[in-house]
Amino acid sequence: MRDSAQGAAAAAARFTGSSVVGVQRLSGTLAEVTLDGGRVVMVKRGDGGPGATRAEAAGLTWLGAAGTVRVPAVHGHDEEWLVTDRVPAGRPSPEAAERLGRGLAALHATGAPSFGAPPPDGPRDAYIGLAPMRNVDGADWPRWYAEHRVLPYVRGAVDGGTLSMAEAVVFERVCARLPELAGAPEAPARLHGDLWNGNVLWAADGHAWLIDPAAHGGHRETDLAMLHLFGLPHLDRLLAAYQQTVPLSEGWSSRIPLHQLFPLLVHAVLFGRGYAEQALAAARSTPAG
Q: List active site positions.
A: 194
In DSSP terms, 84 is beta-bridged to 42, 74
Q: Which of 248, 277, 21 is nearest to 171 (CA)?
A: 277
Q: Which of 238, 261, 254, 263 is nearest to 105 (CA)?
A: 238
The helix-helix angle for 256-271 and 220-230 (nearest 10°) equals 60
CA distances in angstroms from 41 to 62, 104, 234, listed in the order given? 20, 25, 28
CB 181 within 8 A of CB 255: yes
Q: Which of 189, 192, 226 is nearest to 63 (CA)?
A: 192
Q: Which of 217, 100, 197 is nearest to 149 (CA)?
A: 217
